[in-house]
Amino acid sequence: MKTKIALGLVAAVVLTQAGCTTKIKSLPMPAAVQTQNGQDVALYFGNQTHAPVKQSYGNKEFAVRVLRKVENSPEANCSIALEKAVQELRDYARAQHANAVVDVRTRFQHNESASSTEFTCGASLNGSTLAVRGDVVMLETQ
**pLDDT band at 20, cuts 50/70/90?**
low
Please report the pLDDT score of residue 13 as a whole number.
44
Please report the pLDDT score of residue 12 as a whole number.
44
Which is nearest to 83 in space by CA: 50, 132, 124, 17?
132
- Residue 49 in 3-state DSSP? coil
Please name the residue ranges forming H helices in the chain.
2-19, 31-34, 74-95
Q: What is the largest CA-CA distance in the chain?
A: 80
- Residue 83 in 3-state DSSP? helix
Which is nearest to 114 in space by CA: 66, 44, 62?
44
**Mean pLDDT score across all residues of the chain:** 86
pLDDT digits (tens, 9 = 90+) for 100-114: 999 999 999 999 999
CB proximity list for 32: less than 8 A, separation 6 or greater: 83
pLDDT digits (tens, 9 = 90+) for 51-97: 999 999 999 999 999 998 878 888 899 999 999 999 999 999 999 99
The end-to-end CA distance of the chain, in Å, is: 80
Please report the pLDDT score of residue 142 as a whole number.
66
Please report the pLDDT score of residue 125 as a whole number.
84
29 CB-contact burial (10 Å; exposed 0-12 / middle 13-18 / buried 19+): middle
Average pLDDT of the residues in 40-47: 92
Q: Which helix (H) or strand (E) holds 107?
A: strand 100-108
**pLDDT band at 37, cuts 50/70/90?**
low
Please, what are the domains in the chain?
Answer: 22-139 (3.30.110.70)
Please report the pLDDT score of residue 4 as a whole number.
56
Please report the pLDDT score of residue 92 as a whole number.
97
